[in-house]
Structure 1
Amino acid sequence: MPSFKLICLLLCLGAAFTSTRVLSAEEPPYDPSRLEVTTLVTQLKQPMELAVAPDGRVFYIEIKGQLKVYDPTTRQTELVGEVEVTTAQENGLIGLALDPSFAENHWVYLQYSPPEFPGQHVSRFTLVDGKLDMGSEKILLQYEEQRLQCCHHAGSLEFGPDGCLFIGTGDNTHPHGDSHGYAPIDERDDKFPWDAQKSSANTKSYNGKVLRIRPLADGTYEVPDGNLFSKDGSQGHPEIYVMGCRNPWRISVDQKTGYLYWGEVGPDAGNDGPRGPRGYDEINQAKQAGNFGWPYFIADNQAYHDVDFTNEKIGAKFDPAQPVNDSPNNTGIRELPPATEAFIYYPAAAFEKFPEVGSGGRTACAGPTYDFDAANPSTTKFPPHFSRCLFVYEWSRHWILAVHLTAESEIASIEPFMPNHKFTRPVDMQFGPDGALYMLEYGETWGVNDDAKLVRIDYVRGNRPPTAIASAENNTGKQPLAVKLSSSGTLDKDGQELSYAWNAYRAGAEKPTPRLLSTEANPEITFDESGVYNVELTVTDPSGAEAVASVPVIVGNARPSVTFLAPQDGDFFDSLAAIGYRLKVNDIEDGTSDFEEADQTGALEIDLEAPRRTAVNMTLGTGSIPRGPGGEVTDNDPIGLRLMKKSDCFNCHAVDGLRVGPPLVKIAEKYRGNDQALEASVKRVREGSAGVWGKVPMLPHSQHSTEEIRDMVAWVFSLEKDNAVRVFDGFVGNIELTDAEVEKAGYVQLEASYQDLGAGEIPPLVGTAKVFLRQRKIEAEAADEIAGPRPLGGHTASGGKFLGAINHNHFARFDQIPLDRVGSLTFRVTSAGSGGRIEARLDALDGPVIASAPVEVNGSWDGFHDVSSPIEPQSGRHDIYIVFLNEDQQGGLMNLDSVTFAPNTQ
């Protein structure tokens, strides 16, 4: 096999082998910016696998037993059927495939965990009138698993080009225990669930394998030629195609070559040790049947040692040329086929051999291969650049890589795919008949996620319309009002020069006529007449394609100013202390709430006896204090929120406060449970409306497609308060929290508002101020700066996330902690790697050490526990640097879940 470096050299000399060998005169050079992601379905519940039908319908499964289908014609999703499953120990509906002749026979294959059977069924069902006919079930294959301990059931179905069905099964072995993250080969009498030799290395077990069968029309199957063992079953199950798998939970078959690919989720050891190599994840390729080594070998056949778990005596290394299974739990042959090296492999730390994979958590998945078809009429099919590419992806690291293959299906090069787009835990991918890539995104945490979705990735050809973004500075106040208009963020994806037109529409007129304000990109306009205006930006490219955005301008009334005198943003809240608040309000027309200021300046005094125009809303939020301004786009935002932040929505609306328009949560509450509300609201947003919520009309948003607006409105309708909002009147008050509220709340949000009296025809305006009060326990991933570690998902971590991939001298910074109310620091940690210590340093990375706590190795990456350190009395607010240290073993130190700033006892 040619070396990786030699292949790269040949590629350079041969001038882009992969992307040019099929490039036609009609296809312009590949442009990464033409890859666009469209969300098709949101609010999925733990999606597992998908399959695209020949007619473009997308079938997908959710782990609790639901089979659903998205119809691209109607853009609607329908529940097709539901199988009864157990979801204990990561079981459920875990595999899906459509028959190669699905268009004619409507056969669907499901891999699932029936409650009454200790294992998995692989069954064929028939769709009748678009619904799963439960009476049509044909159980092709069933295999048992131990259910005493968790985990690793894998689960994945894929047809090859010859009509064979491949079935991924996990090693069904507990990943922790006394193996310390190395090979789980515990042969003690009561440790059967901790011994992968019973399954992966056992030729008479269906677990820890990829099976291959050929389904027959009568609902049975035959064993094809070329599997690992003979059809008589004397040496091993004849259905086994590859053995020695740990958790091959995503498999794929190259429809051109028939080669099998799968992602192998590896063990947890952070460093090489006396028992053998550290953990690696693998992308495997099987050109023919074989043994892929687990639990004796990993990566490029790095060998583990035999271990006597009774006395922890470490024996000899296993031999990849002649592996032997001597476990008393083995029911198959003793001498196994030689082990095969992984195709691609990588540990948690950065890895020089495959630098493209990065570092962090590991959950490798193998996706589809792609071959460009010039005869395919689709205008959104992937370009020739990706022909002969294997797409691999990472559930934990959120990336996709395009592995360019040679004619012999070896690695030519590895290219990051859409590296500037955040995919939220891709869990399955498949190319459709249109040559577009369909993907399930599982969502941020291990569990049910609001951001789980089905997406389609297209390669868009031809001229693309520009994107318009409009904003305004100083767009509310007394006349004359100088308003700075900005088109910052406006762009043309094709790099063409844009023309600009700013027009003002007087609100309230029966037939509003536009007044051209400017043709500059960022003009400053003075409004001399009072009134409510909508200012619209139109940008046009040389081909005539245009986009529109708008901002409101309110002239004749100044917005009031509201300030919290107490508490201050970032203060702690405790169950024993009431939250006392004091507000200050200044309004040009109404006056001030500060009597001393009124006496000194002659300003009017606001009537404190009429407090209904002043309110403090208290909301208890889950998680950590939100970061960033309301209009800042973050990678974790749902697609609807991303679209709204890129549009003009937040010029007029806040999520839970008054601006020009109503709070978005109020809109959600008004229309919740109304089946017709979504489409009616989509129509109003697209075409414009007036009088629904107030005097200020909403302009048409024709710059957005109906699909985009539907995503935006669906996100608004999904909004709910984490807890009921408690409202307090007046400029001064006390808020009592119950112990239950403190226990539940991640943070307290106080938002003060004052509504002025308006000015004639100009409607009243609201001024707001907001502070967040923090829980003493702060999630590690919510640090203000993270240098080195990576935020990862974990079902045992509070909030479902933690900081992992931690090495020596990595750090996390927490800003402006009120240390005068802190007596000790508690770190919630775990380590199956090197361990070390944590230091808390004051105000700088090399600042004074105020706390230090050792982190011992406990053999688990998710067994979080607390370690604490007292601190000397401090005053005021300080930045705290949490620094991770281990001078001797500098990689794979620990995971950090949270930091608690415990109160002082004085």
Structure 2
Amino acid sequence: MHPGNSTKSRKNALFFFFVLVGLLVNNHWLQAQSFPAGFTQVLVTKGINKPTTMAFAPDGRIFVAQQRGEVRIVKNGELLPNYFMDLSVNSNGERGLIGLALDPDFTNNQYLYAYYTLADASRNRISRFTANGDEVVPGSEVVLLNLDTLSTAVNHNGGALHFGKDGKLFVAIGDNNRSANSQSLDIYHGKILRINTDGSVPNGNPFKTGSSQRKRVWAYGLRNPYTFSIQPRTGKIFVNDVGQVTWEEINDATTGGKNFGWPITEGFSINPDYANPVYAYPHADTDGTGCAISGGVFFNPTNTNYPATYWGNYFFQDLCNNWINVLDLSGSTPVRKPFATGLNTNSLGISVGNDGNLYYLQRNSSALYKIIYTTNAAPKVVQQPTSVTVSAGQPTTFQVVATGTPTLTYQWQKNGANIPGATGPSYTIARTTMANAGNYRVIVKNKVGSAISNLATLKVTPFNNAPVAVINTPANNFFYHAGDTIRFAGSATDAEDGTLPARNFSWFVNFHHDTHVHDGPPIADGVRNGSFVIPTSGEVAANVWYRIYAVVKDSKGLTDTVYRDIHPYLSTIALATQPAGLKVTLDGQPVTAPLSVSSVEGIERTIGPVSPQTLNGKTYVFAKWLHSEPANQTIATPRNNVTYTAVYQEKFDPVQLEAEKALLQGVQVASIQAGYAGTGYADYINAAGDYVEWTVNVPRAGKYQLNFRYALASGSRNLRVQVNNTVAAEALNFTSTGAWTSWSNKNLEINLNGGLNKIRATSTGTSGPNIDYLLVSQNTSTLELTTQEELTTPAAALQIYPNPANSYLNLVIPFIPEQEYTLQLYNNQGNLVNLKAPVTSVSGQNTIQLPLANLPAGLYVLKIMQGETRFSKVFFIQR
């Protein structure tokens, strides 16, 4: 922080350049404005470079923040030449000094609070400073709160500060162009905070436990709450949230804990999880529509001469469409009404002054205006013409603002004599000569009376040629990618001064988006050439471009301004889903695929799934992106058109999922054959060529995975695996386990046909591992197949019916009748289930009926053991 006027001369020298820029952007000083009868706009002061916000002191002074870090004071209607303070900030894009508030007890403690971006661009900060008259006390900064680390995006910083009725400090913070921030309570971005004046957590906040961020959050789900207002008597809080492509919102955050839905929803939503705005207006180009809500204020002054119908209403403004509207809050539903139109562009920061008038800032004209209401019938000049000195050959304009009963007429005079045709509120001399020097005034009349303005003196100095500026680099029709370094260079000559030096140059960049303008990357003054980098994050729209300005000034103060436009290379990003018609997120907002959007090459976009979601009565969950993982990704727009496809799987409720598993697992094993005859059982592979074979029945063709449970006493062995007589693995390796405890670490992917398939594992050496289970799986469904003794009658296989079952299950058991068999039943969590049957072990019985009435619906695995033979079947209980 640099108190006082340490950089005053440098920055005041640039003031003329920025005023001229305002002229060039708007093409005129004053647009055709329209107000309700009796209301008039009056200029308070000019010379405020890039204003962002203001605060009114009890003694009538107005503290105005400039984005580059300075705080100016307007005192008795005059802009003081010295800065109140000059902070070192990063002012790239929407960063900088963007929030200002005076303590409720400012008269006694002289505390001023500021929200600004640190010079290293690492984070935004909230600090307290102490005033000493019209200057800050050096070294008085007290840091209250360092906010979360910033991304490379230079937009969506929020910044507004206001004290609530309870004396707590409320803070508005943008989402830092990372929309997911808004829904996370553990990060400050995209929130309204409520803090004590020392930065600590106050009592009464809605989230009482968790992270320090969460405890300070008052409201969330916001995109860029650049401004908000607190009604003095009631404490009602209206938050003005700048929207993306559709809606601008005014949200009621009076009650803590509300979620306003960004990025899941914008504008009004039927989802009860999100609080709807009090009022929202769409993007368009008429009165009441716009592109960015840049200010709003409750009108509850202590004293005012405004008509009583405006008391308690809410005034708000739009950055692009040059209007101020008013919300009538007297009824149960707010009603929008027009108020002012035809204002200069980039108006912001509307507020209520101590005098009961509305005030607002205009960036393009570097000015502070107020809106007054008068009832005088006779004319009255409320804004006087000002004296001016100009070189011969240059234009000049005198203008006034007058009030009175319509219709007012104007007559300009020079040295007391009427000027023919000079009958408007302004008088312009397109090309001055020495003969134009003199004193000018205007007489304003209506049917009631007349008024005469103050005299304004025109001094004309000898003719001086204006300089001629040229931008040499970049060339015309230059195109860029996000992330590119743009090099610029210029030259200038002057008829009197010759070639102008670098110190006579001033450069700046505007970032154009649709019909409105943002500050571009900051670049140095006093140079003929330099460079800047196009950001890779920030605005994601494709209708954008940059305009580079060079302003050159000669020794007599005349200037020439030239500019060069550079446009982006664009690619198309196509979003698709499998199956088609599902939703994904683009830059945090849900969109329905297929969708194609144009995007600046190199600009970062975020994509992600919407999971779960429902389409045509079916529920889907996200599985993967075809191009890469993870689910939520930040991608740089490639230099070629690209398609990103999200794959979804149908999601079943538990009963549906188990039914699907039962269908998949169906009939499992028809026969097993082994080459080894020593014991007669297939799970021993003790010689070359011994094999185990399973016949597997699956309902659909597709890719499946195999895995084996095995035992091997020592060393390692290889198995050759064939599927339907085709080799799937030539040497699948198994290592020593010593017991039936290990699953093979090979997850072998195979293709199976719908219906019956044969899987054979053959020893490739003198012996192989002993195998007792095979797993066949697809996605989340798994078949567990056990080996069994070769049957002399292959058709005589275990049968179960009905499947799905209800009250009972019939088993037809083909095993040798002389041997006892044992039944075990497991649920789909692998837990042993009590059959509640009369017997669980029988001998000599080929058919048994199992009671199921006491078992819940779901998937079950029935295991049957007879001697060394084991068999399993899967069935489903359906109610």
| TM-score between the two structures when normalised by the length of structure 1 | 0.44
Question: Whose helix fraction is larger, Structure 1's or Structure 2's?
Answer: 1
Question: Whose strand fraction is larger, Structure 1's or Structure 2's?
Answer: 2
**Which protein has greater RCO, CA pairs closer than 8 Å, 6+ apart?**
1
Could you say which structure has the larger radius of gyration? 2
| TM-score between the two structures when normalised by the length of structure 2 | 0.45
